[in-house]
Amino acid sequence: MTATSATRRSVPNLDRHGLLRQSLVGARLMDYLFRRLILFNAALAIGVIVLIFVYVGKESLPLLLSEDIQQEVTVGKMFSSQPNETEELALSYIWQPVSKEPKYSVIPLLLGSLKVTFIALLFAAPLSIAAAIYTAEFAVPWVRELVKPIIELLAGIPSVVLGFLALVVLASWLQHFFQFDYRLNAVNAGLAMGLAIIPIIYTVSEDALSSVPRSYREASLALGVSPWKTARSVVLPAATPGIFAAMVLGFGRAVGETMIVLMASGNAAVTSLSLADSVRTVSATIAAELGEVVFGSAHYHVLFFLGTMLFILTFLLNMVGDVFVSRLKQRMMGAS
């Protein structure tokens, strides 16, 4: 009897001021508010990206619509060859926007971007994929725990620092070893860019390799296949879409990267296939020229057009990368 009365008394004691009920209502309210807040944040992020795209696109539209500007430059002219004063050049694709007759060929710029990106991938992809195979397949746990964060830390190095390194140190080494005519050239910028994209390719490849189910490896090893052969012929092929995605994402980053190429590439808009020549990339051109260009001039709209091109390119590349990653995930889920 005393016991029951004691419990009966103790219940109202617990919630003497209705705190429990109040906090429940409060929690629900907070829950609601925060869900809305987070939704708003997500929408804001998307909205900002859409608005940036709309603005950049809008600023490049006069190139297609304004007749005044089309007298100076059209999209067709930007991709075709022009009459040329320096007669000894075989191909006359020239970027010379400040001139009596401004020349806006984007071919040397695109070629420059591609050359630098190509070298960056050529340098970064084998290194980072090999590193990913090592950490995912062979490294003992503590080595893996050490190596992975350190490589990922590379992504935190500001590109200005990489650019400076390439400008001052790397360029001199390369010129010393390879006797380049131009100290700052596509190889120099490409190698520095490679350093910048190693963390991206490594991280995505490593994830792809790790997501290959254990059962694949166990089956292979149980059949008496060596670990290296297992990694090479079983795990790596299974992770191919992920590794491809890693390279696509690395490519996207390299095409848009600006500071490194601005500092390390020499910025000469040469139309040549030689990797030893100086190059001027699309991104570096925008960075170097947009600051002082006459607002509303043909040159200004051309620069925005280049920006739109870059934006669409990197957007598509990122999308392709994502599609491949999610396809890989599905495949692995189905298999395990």
The residues binding other proteins (CB under 8 A) are 85-86, 88-89, 94-100, 103, 108, 172, 181-184, 262, 266-271, 277-278, 280, 288-289, 291-293
Whole-angstrom distance, CA of residue 269 vs CA of residue 106 = 9
Nearer to other proteins, 182 or 202 (CB): 182
Nearer to other proteins, 193 or 234 (CB): 193
Report in angstroms how near the CB of residue 205 gets to other proteins at its nearest.
35
User: Of 270, 269, 274, nearest to 289 (Cα)?
Assistant: 269
Report in angstroms how near the CB of residue 106 gets to other proteins at its nearest.
13
Nearer to other proteins, 95 or 202 (CB): 95
Consecutive H or E run containing 287: helix 282-289
Report in angstroms how near the CB of residue 109 gets to other proteins at its nearest.
11
Report in angstroms how near the CB of residue 70 gets to other proteins at its nearest.
22
DSSP 68-114: HHHHH--HHHHHS----SSTT-SS---EE-SSSS-EE--HHHHHHHH
Report in angstroms how near the CB of residue 226 gets to other proteins at its nearest.
50
Contact 261, 281 (CB under 8 A): yes
Nearer to other proteins, 167 or 200 (CB): 167
Nearer to other proteins, 74 or 96 (CB): 96
Nearer to other proteins, 126 or 296 (CB): 296
**Cβ within 8 Å of residue 89, ≥6 positions away:** 271
Whole-angstrom distance, CA of residue 149 vs CA of residue 139 = 14
Residues in the chain: 336
Report in angstroms how near the CB of residue 306 gets to other proteins at its nearest.
15
Nearer to other proteins, 96 or 210 (CB): 96
Contact 140, 227 (CB under 8 A): no
Phi/psi for 103 (5° steps) reads: -120, 125
Whole-angstrom distance, CA of residue 95 vs CA of residue 93 = 7
Report in angstroms how near the CB of residue 104 gets to other proteins at its nearest.
12
Whole-angstrom distance, CA of residue 29 vs CA of residue 6 = 35
